A and B are shown apart, each in its own frame.
Chain A
Amino acid sequence: MPSELPESGYQPDRLRDLFDVACDLKGPSLGRYLDENCAGQPALRATLEKLLRADREGVGRTLWQTTAAAAEAREMAAQASLPFERLGEYRILSRIGAGGMGAVYLAERDYDDVRRRVAIKIIPRVLVDDDLLRRFRQERQILARMEHPNIARMLDAGRTPDGMPFLAMEYIDGIPLDEYAAARHLGLKERVALFHGVCSAVAYAHRNLVVHRDLKPQNILVTAEGVPKLLDFGIAKILSAAEPGAEPARTEAFAMTLDYASPEQLTGMPITTASDIYSLGVVLYQLMTGRRPYALASKSLEEIVRLVCQEPAVPPASVDRALAGDLDAIICKAIRKEPEQRYASAGELARDLERYLAGDPVSASGVSFVYLARKYVARHKSQAAALAAAAILLVAGIVGVSWEARIANRERATAQRRFDTLRMLASDMVFQTNENLARYPGTTEARKALIARGLAYLEVLARDAGGDPTLQRDLGAAYIRMGDIQGKEGVATLGDWRGAMASYQKAGALLIAAVAKNPHDLEARLHLVDVYNSLSYSYWSLRNQTEREKSAQLAVAAAEGAVRENPGNLRARKALASAYFAHAGALNTTDQAIEAWRKCLELYLSLLSAKPQGDEELRNVALVHKYLAGVYQERSRLGEALEQALEAEKADSLRLVAQPSNLQTQLDVTFDLNQIASAYDALGDQAKALESYRRALEIRRKLSAADPKDFWKRERLIYSETSVGKALLKTGGLEESGQHFRAAAAIGAEEIARKPADKELQSMTGEVYAGLSDVADRSGRPREACSWLRRAIAMNPNLASARAARMASCGGK
């Protein structure tokens, strides 16, 4: 131990290390740990215990809230005196709290000689507008009718002398539900019985068509007699902005307690009684386990939405074994993500609780949590689609409204700023959501819906972009990203190449205009390179060679312009490399192609040396090696071809080490393997060729199974099955070869039904049929061989010449 200790008597690091371990310990093991490690150091132990207490209290609160609570406490101390003695008819007695809704005062008023105590909530101005009183009047009849022993009645609304709106409601002298249960050490059944009263109150309100929308323990007070009382019924509706379009969604989304909010509340979907059921479920969960289904503390809003909408909750029974069975089932049914899967009413939930208390079988049981979770995962795709759709609806609404506002508003600068913010928010939502979805297999449909809405929204913006080069540039960039998602070659794609091209062309038009007005704008130039590159690939996907070469040349020209303007710039260099890449690819197998590939490789290797482990850098190097291998092979320079293919696999394998489950990298490796196999095949090493083809096939089967709607992966799978089939033909594995061809034929037939005009697909499928014909022929089944051959030639007439003899022997039939 160092000779000089700080004043505190211990080293700061020691405190931190002890905390690190102790914060995960509980009960006796914590006590033992403290005894062992703080022996003879009372100051250290005291500080550590203080921190651990703060840590426990801090659970479920973010740092913001922690500091807010501190600030609030100080403010309350400072404001011990009351601001008013009277508010209208009410005599203010004391301040009883300062909660989320602002300050709360205890007051009294004489009603027909009966002195009645009321709680008066003064609502912060930001929460309300001048319509509060009007909305209260609209609601008051309904609220006044709500008479239930478990509901605190809303009585009145008014304004303070300084103009702050206030609400008066029945005063409840009680403590929050969870604190009450803890303080009285209630057992399981007692807690359920207490909660049952809450349910019947909510059921009553729902029958009166009043949704609470903000149910949480703090809104459920239990009196000294043990009667739970619900506060704030109807307040959410009074407080919610009534005007459509004015501060849309945000106010709504933020004026609730996220910890208890249902998935539909978080995603801005319509809120119904089912949302209250969900919140009730969370409250019950917390009442029974002491925790909430999700740890949302200090999470970002995005993260909270993801957890609540996508992740299965921790089953209550796994928090406390005593809940296993009925209670677990009841809570899980209440907090189902799909509103229609929850209890149909609070009454039904109450009845299940009654059955539980009586020991009768409950309606929720028999469906285990595991079952629900598994079912949920199966439904995940549609859920994801719904989430995406919700995000887009929100976006479209915001953008539409604010754009009009921008034009109409006299305060143009303000409107502009708001518009920009919303545009950021919107485009972020589209792309971020897509990225998130793309990481999970099986989300193609959801992404399609997302992109369709995103495009509609870009359309509106582009129409109104006018001559603003900056806006044109940004929109151009957005169109490129849209196009990439629709159908970028080689990337997990929606397979909509024509749609992608339309997007790229729109991007090009916008960017050319932007560069013309603002020639020094490097960003716009780089985007333009991107557009030409992408167009070149799209034309390749559509088998249009002339346009492909033309676009590639334009890409190189645009990139050279960018490098000329910014010689040392890394991104300009990257752009030039990528343009050469497109260009070399377009030149096919000519000498110029080899030259262009070499130049391209040189550019990418220099970029890689600037960032040796970079995934993108490695991928580019691997790609160039691979293409170079292909060209060499076409030119029968087989040794060089194999060498390049092996280099490619080496580079991609490095990437796979860093990210073993990356789908793109896995797909990339299969291309390397095929290239290697093809080189071995040409060199006459059939065994090695077969081995590589097989490795590629194995990976592709997995990739396609994970996302069966991805056309690109299906097409690649056909190719791999065919390759293995062909290689087996050469090594003599006839029967197994037939199996692979049949697998390929099945996929081919399905895809052709979906895309009858796809020539490449037909030609690939023709190859498969020809393979089946070869297998039949070699197995001594000539009639079958003829039948397959006819089908092959129907698909791909080029296959006829190689099998002319068999064709002739098959004769006219």
Chain B
Amino acid sequence: MSSAEASSTVEITRWLVRWREGDGGALDNLTRMVYAELRHMAAALLQTERGGHTLQPTALVHELYLRLDGARGVDWKCRGQFFAISAKVMRRILVDHARKRTAGKRASDVLTLDGEALLVPAPDVLLVDAALSRLAADYPRQAAVVELRFFGGLTAEETVEAMNASGEQVSLRTVQRDWRFSRAWLQDAL
């Protein structure tokens, strides 16, 4: 790890802790730092020809979290908040990237996806983004679940953590049901 990267992750941890300790203004700084760091990591991945495309961009959120949490000090609420922020940020990054790519009309790019892990044309991130915004109009909580899981790459359990940290008290079952509903909704919409 270069020391610039290291110091930024220390910075993120510091803002997380400050936010946890009640410093409301810390959230802005935190978001900015997470954005910078994730964008840096994503750019590195999206640029490299082979290695890059075989990684899930959403795995970055976990990867960054691991970098932060070298020490064992950050508690679950911080963790949840970090995931919540990161998923939003990741969504923005992927949408930005997709916009740029569409502008440059390199439509032949391919991404390896999770699950079936075959090489398929890049899913249209912009399409998902737009559909998700429509979903959010009627189903804000369900859309939040999708954002966390789809863009943040979180497991259902982590999604619960992240939502609880953002003040939305949900159970694991609720998240699972919301996910199923949203998935059907989005598939239909797409």
Contacts and interface: CB of A to CB of B under 8 A. Distances in A.
Contact of A20 (B48, B113, B120, B181): B181
Contacts of A527: 71
A66 B114 contact: no
B124 A67 contact: yes
Contacts of B53: 126
Interface in B82-128: 107, 110, 112-124, 127-128
Interface string A422-439: 011101100000000000
Given A68-B123, A126-B53, A470-B1, A54 B177 contact: no
Interface in A427-472: 427-428, 468-471
Interface residues of B, number: 60
A569 B110 CA distance: 46
Given A250-B54, A571-B17, A54 B188 contact: yes
A296 B186 CA distance: 19
Interface in A509-533: 521-523, 526-527
Interface stretch (A196-204, A255-263, A348-356): A255-263
B6 interface: yes
B163 to A, nearest CB: 16
A755 to B, nearest CB: 30
B71 A254 contact: no
A12 B139 contact: yes
Contacts of A522: 10
Interface in B167-189: 177, 179-181, 183-188
B51 A66 contact: no
A127 B54 CA distance: 10
Nearest to B64: A424
A298 B184 contact: no
Given A51-B184, A51-B185, A71-B127, A61 B115 contact: yes
Given A424-B63, A474-B70, A614-B75, A62 B187 contact: no
Given A58-B183, A570-B17, A71 B122 contact: yes
Given A126-B110, A420-B5, A474-B70, A16 B124 contact: no
A97 B20 CA distance: 52
A570 B21 contact: yes
Contact of B185 (A54, A250, A421): A54
Interface in A13-49: 16, 19-20, 23
Given A70-B123, A570-B21, A258 B117 contact: yes
Contact of A71 (B66, B73, B124, B183): B124
Given A68-B120, A75-B107, A100-B120, A62 B142 contact: no
Contacts of B180: 23, 55
B110 A124 contact: yes
A96 interface: no
A20 B174 CA distance: 10
A65 interface: yes
Given A70-B127, A523-B10, A64 B66 contact: no
A611 interface: yes
A712 to B, nearest CB: 21
B118 A100 contact: yes
B115 A258 contact: yes
Interface string B58-78: 000001001100110101000
Contact of B121 (A75, A250, A471): A75
Interface of A: 6, 12, 16, 19-20, 23, 50-55, 57-58, 61-72, 74-75, 98-102, 124, 126-127, 247, 250-251, 254-259, 296-301, 303, 414, 416-418, 420-421, 423-425, 427-428, 468-471, 473-474, 477, 521-523, 526-527, 568-571, 574, 611, 614
16 contacts: A51-B185, A54-B185, A58-B187, A64-B114, A67-B186, A68-B113, A72-B121, A102-B119, A126-B53, A247-B51, A250-B51, A298-B115, A417-B44, A428-B66, A570-B21, A611-B75
